[in-house]
Amino acid sequence: MVPSPDPLHTSPRGTPAAYSLARDRYADWGVDTEEAIDRLGKTPISLHCWQGDDVAGFENPGAALGGGLAVTGNHPGRARNGDELRADLDAALSHIPCRHRINLHAMYAETAGRKVERTDFAPVHFQRWIDWACERKAGLDFNPTFFSHPLAADGFTLSHRDVSIRRYWIEHGIASRKIGAAMGAAAQSPCITNFWIPDGYKDTPADRWAPRQWLTESLDAIFREPIPEEMNLDAVESKLFGIGSESYVTGSHDFYLGYAITRRKLLCLDTGHFHPTESVADKISAILPYVPALLLHVSRGVRWDSDHVPAFSDDLQSLAREALRGAGRIHFGLDYFDASINRIAAWIMGARNLLKALLAALLEPAALLRQAELSGDYTKRFALREQQHTMPFGAVWEEHCERRGMDGQNLWLDEVLRREKEILAARG
Ligand code: RNT
Ligand code: ZN
């Protein structure tokens, strides 16, 4: 292959020589790159379907996005139906090494053109997704959709003051867990059904207590029926604020922390849902001992927006380091929506950045670092950390990708841009 003059493409492939040098350098540090590559290959990431169509869903795709969420940008080629969305996901998956999962929202039900209430959603409405995922041996995760709906229009759902509205959403939650269970059974891997609601007030509430009491009751009602853990695991996700819920969010972090601990639920930490100076990485070792497992929604907050494509940042790298110490009780998912860049590239780069962060974490000289710390040698600990930055990490990443028939650089971008010209542009 002739190297491209494009500076994105520094060389057409990594060289085996680069990897073998890297392997030796890491071995000097007591780090086994083969073990790292092997472990990375066994770490699935749940790819959020909603990046492919700007969280539009199939019920009423022309409607405005609700729930205080916002997607900016209008890059051409948004997927308009299940077939397009699955084809785009396939395109993304073809550049993300190893096997991953797909995360669906209830609003992606396929009802053959019939209007079906969310309370009546059933596994049959997701059969095409289930068949598609099973063919690819991909696990499935699920989310009830508590937004973009007339009964969510005033910003409250499970904590609404009107009991009949709460009832509607409780029924949707109950239906969603059954769909999750069907997905878990079909994929032979538990489905994580994750509950996030937009509920909150723009302005200072008179009563902060009642909505939280209602939310507890609603969630308890949804979770009343036990479902085997091999099929479905329930998670709850907090948020700091949304557009229109700036002063009060019923499902705050503190609320769900208590809820998850007392009800033995998974806690979902979305990395965009905290104060900008808070470290989500630091929360993992504080919370994990008290909950059955954690789900991470990996995202990148920028100012008010919680949903940028994750970059290979220090934050992401510390998150990956801490998460790997969770010994399998951490589930990785992505959650962002960016329509200002190619949507498929957004999936690929977010997933690859998370994988890179995980690989970097697997390649850290953990034993040396701990030794330095335990002996009180903080100078050495700091020196080791700094040396990590100039270790030949890229050669190991490229090797990991190439073993799976993918490129570790940016050659995939050519194919994605070709698809944009040939397929996405025609969508209008
Ligand atoms: C919203 C939450 C939630 C959503 C998806 C669409 O702030 O992060 O997870 O992004 O459910
Ligand atoms: Zn999220």
| Tens of pLDDT, residues 396-420 | 999 999 999 999 999 999 999 999 9
Say whether pLDDT at 428 is over 80: no
In this structure, the residue with its CA closest to atom 5 of ligand 1 is 335
At 162, the pLDDT band (50, 70, 90 cuts) reads very high
**Angle between the N-to-C axes of helices 127-135 and 163-187, in degrees from 0 to 180, rounded to the nearest 10:** 30
Q: Give the DSSP H/E element, type plus range, for residue 200.
A: strand 200-201
Tell me what pLDDT residue 327 has.
Answer: 80
- The answer to which of 29-43, 60-74, 121-135, 144-158 has the lowest mean pLDDT is 60-74
Tell me what pLDDT residue 424 has.
Answer: 92
Q: Would you call 373 a catalytic residue per the annotation?
A: no
Q: Would you call 402 a catalytic residue per the annotation?
A: no
At 16, the pLDDT band (50, 70, 90 cuts) reads confident
**What is the percent of the chain where pLDDT is above 70?**
96
Could you tell me the distance, in angstroms and rounded to a whole number, from the CA of residue 237 to the centre of ligand 2?
7
Tokens of 29: 């540090």
Quote the DSSP letter at residue 331: E
Say whether pLDDT at 13 is over 60: no
Q: How far apart are CA 56 and CA 45, in angstroms?
A: 22
Mean pLDDT, range 69-87, rounded to an integer: 95
Q: Would you call 335 a catalytic residue per the annotation?
A: yes
- The answer to which of 30-34, 62-66, 120-124, 364-368 has the lowest mean pLDDT is 62-66
| 242 within 8 A of 70, measured Cβ to Cβ | no
Q: How confident is the model over 352-390, as pLDDT tens digits?
A: 999 999 999 999 999 999 999 999 999 999 999 999 999
Tell me what pLDDT residue 64 has.
Answer: 86
Q: How far apart are CA 22 and CA 360, in angstroms?
A: 13
Say whether pLDDT at 3 is over 50: no
Q: Could you tell me how many helices (H) and strands (E) the chain has, helices first?
A: 14, 12
Tokens of 5: 């003059």
Q: How far apart are CA 368 and CA 285, in angstroms?
A: 20
At 299, the pLDDT band (50, 70, 90 cuts) reads very high
Q: How confident is the model over 180-224, as pLDDT tens digits?
A: 999 999 999 999 999 999 999 999 999 999 999 999 999 999 999
Q: List the catalytic residue out of 54, 270, 338, 364.
A: 270
Cross-strand partners of 46: 101, 333
Q: Is 55 in the pocket of ligand 1 (CB under 6 A)?
A: yes
Tell me what pLDDT residue 219 has.
Answer: 99
Written as one string, the DSSP assignment of 265-305 is: -EEEEETTSS-TT--HHHHHHHHGGGSS-EEEEE-EEETTE
Mean pLDDT, range 320-343, rounded to an integer: 94
Could you tell me the distance, in angstroms and rounded to a whole number, from the CA of residue 277 to the centre of ligand 2?
18
At 9, the pLDDT band (50, 70, 90 cuts) reads very low
Could you tell me the distance, in angstroms and rounded to a whole number, from the CA of residue 297 to the centre of ligand 2?
5
The residues, any chain, with a CB within 8 Å of residue 71's CB and separated by 6 or more, are: 54, 55, 65, 307, 337, 338, 339
Mean pLDDT, range 25-35, rounded to an integer: 97
Mean pLDDT, range 267-286, rounded to an integer: 97
At 15, the pLDDT band (50, 70, 90 cuts) reads low
Q: Is 141 in the pocket of ligand 1 (CB under 6 A)?
A: no
Quote the DSSP letter at residue 41: H
The Cβ-side half-sphere exposure at 384, using a 13 Å CA radius, reads: 20
Mean pLDDT, range 327-337, rounded to an integer: 95
Q: What's the predicted TM-score (pTM) here?
A: 0.95
Name the burial class of residue 82, with classes exposed (0-12), middle (13-18) and buried (19+) by CB atoms within 10 angstroms of its CB: middle
Q: How confident is the model over 93-135, as pLDDT tens digits?
A: 999 999 999 999 999 999 999 999 999 999 999 999 999 999 9
Tell me what pLDDT residue 287 has.
Answer: 98
Q: How far apart are CA 370 and CA 402, in angstroms?
A: 32
Quote the DSSP letter at residue 333: E
Q: Would you call 171 a catalytic residue per the annotation?
A: no
At 326, the pLDDT band (50, 70, 90 cuts) reads confident
Q: Give the DSSP H/E element, type plus range, for residue 45.
A: strand 45-48
Written as one string, the DSSP assignment of 216-280 is: HHHHHHHT-S---TTTEEEEEE--S--TT-SSEESS-HHHHHHHHHHHT-EEEEETTSS-TT--H
Cross-strand partners of 193: 142, 234
The residues, any chain, with a CB within 8 Å of residue 202's CB and separated by 6 or more, are: 155, 244, 245, 246, 247
